[in-house]
Structure 1
Amino acid sequence: MTQHQLAALIYPPEIDPAPILEDAARQLHARGVAVAGAIQHASGPCNMELELLPSGCRMAISQNLGSGSLGCRLDASALAEAASIVRKAIDNGPELVVFNKYGAQEAEGKGMHDEVALAITVGIPVVIPVPERFLPQWSAFTGGEFTALPCTAQAVLSWWEALVKASRDAA
């Protein structure tokens, strides 16, 4: 099987990939891997934050629309600011970039879409959760050139180990 530098954690609607991605990123960081990117945290329906790596700072990316509202709204300007910070982290040449997810924004070419493309283009390995419903858009975006993983931290760690081994063997 070809070991791609791009890994997608494919997940169904009932799974929250954020804690899984966070666990994998923390374990890799603890092993000395230079990790950049963004991990999403949610504490309530209208309180989404991105933890920006490697700094660990958190940035709110949602807006509460008030007591009469039935939902919340993504704060596009906050997401753009977070994307800019992730872009700078990619420019510093990490060993791995993690992204919070390939969601509706990215499927429309917004959100962290360009940062994902940048990391891929410069050859930095990427891991990103992809909801099953956006798998067709993801496949089109990547040309099908990715490793599909089950949504577990162990799958990420095994993928990373295989990628490092393949890189060593090729050298």
Structure 2
Amino acid sequence: MVRGDFGAAHHGDAVMRLGYVIAPGPGALDVFLALVAQTMKAQGLRVAGAVQRTLGGAGLSRGEMRLQILSGGEFLISQRLGAGAQGCRLDPGALEAAVMAVGRDLDHDTHVLILNKFGKQEALGRGFAPLIAEALGNDVPVLLGVHSNNMQAFQDFEGGMAQALPYDLVTVERWCLDAARCRQG
């Protein structure tokens, strides 16, 4: 596998692009990736994907997790487990519904797929993992957020094809634009 600028990995005749940004703290990537998606759309790119919004509220100690689908719509992906609950709040069924919604947006005209994170479900091969693989298999560049606690699982998944990108809006936007140009040309 040969790497070029911004992590283009050449595999056979296909150019596969997978970029990721490591979260500098809780919730930081949510706003960051939403801004990247908004800028890419403003640049005329066809963007598919989902970004997370976490909302606080009465009785919600850690907030309500929602996935905003970039083409429109939103899914509540957290469960209310009660005040003393310590378990995972993710609603796997709601996540799968969001994955299906993003999957309907992903086609041969997509310039870039932007996803809020590679999380526990993806580490298990569920969640957005199949959609990420499908996008890469169709030469659609993918931009992900990754938290340090999922880094080993992500590295196992990406197999050396991913490019770490700095938590810098200009650099990440440039990577998306370059990846889209490479896909077109």
TM bucket, shorter chain? 0.7 to 0.9
Q: Which has the higher contact order (CA 8 A, sep 6+)?
A: 1
| Residues 34-43 or 62-71, more deviating | 62-71
Give the secondary-structure state (helix, strand or coil) at the position aligned to 1:100.
Answer: strand
Look up the match of 1:125: 141
The CA deviation string for residues 27-57 of structure 1, in whole angstroms up to 9 with x for no partner, is: 1101111101110000122300001122x21
Look up the match of 1:32: 44
1:126, 1:106 → 2: CA distance? 14
Checking the alignment, whether the CA contact within 8 Å between 1:46 and 1:63 is kept in structure 2 is: no
Which amino acid in 2 is paired with 1:51?
Answer: Q
1:78, 1:144 → 2: CA distance? 30
Give the secondary-structure state (helix, strand or coil) at the position aligned to 1:63.
Answer: coil
Give the secondary-structure state (helix, strand or coil) at the position aligned to 1:43.
Answer: strand
1:50 to 46, 50, 67: 67
| Residues 45-54 or 8-17, more deviating | 8-17
Pairwise CA RMSD: 2.1
Which amino acid in 1 is paired with 2:91?
Answer: D
Whether 1:143 aligns to 2:155 is no
Structure 1 stretches of 4+ with a deviation exceeding 6 A read: none
* Number of equivalent positions: 168
The CA deviation string for residues 80-119 of structure 1, in whole angstroms up to 9 with x for no partner, is: 1111111111136311110110011111112111111111
2:97, 2:103 → 1: CA distance? 10
User: What TM-score comes out, normalization by structure 2 length?
Assistant: 0.81
Q: Structure 1 80/15 Cα, relative in aligned 2: closer, same or farther at 3 Å?
A: closer
| Residues 42-51 or 85-94, more deviating | 85-94
Q: Structure 1 50/138 Cα, relative in aligned 2: closer, same or farther at 3 Å?
A: same
Checking the alignment, whether the CA contact within 8 Å between 1:13 and 1:132 is kept in structure 2 is: no
Checking the alignment, whether the CA contact within 8 Å between 2:53 and 2:67 is kept in structure 1 is: yes
Sequence identity percentage:
32
Which amino acid in 2 is paired with 1:81?
Answer: A
Question: How far apart are residue 18 of structure 1 and its match?
Answer: 0.8
Question: How far apart are residue 153 of structure 1 and its match?
Answer: 2.1
* Structure 1 residues 86-97: aligned runs within 5 Å: 86-91=102-107, 93-97=109-113
Q: List runs of 5+ in structure 2 lacking aligned partners.
A: 9-16, 57-61
2:122, 2:180 → 1: CA distance? 28
Whether 1:99 aligns to 2:115 is yes
Checking the alignment, whether the CA contact within 8 Å between 2:111 and 2:183 is kept in structure 1 is: no
1:120, 1:141 → 2: CA distance? 12
Question: How far apart are residue 58 of structure 1 and its match?
Answer: 1.1
Q: List runs of 5+ in structure 1 lacking aligned partners.
A: none
1:72, 1:135 → 2: CA distance? 19
| Residues 104-113 or 155-164, more deviating | 155-164
Checking the alignment, whether the CA contact within 8 Å between 2:108 and 2:138 is kept in structure 1 is: no
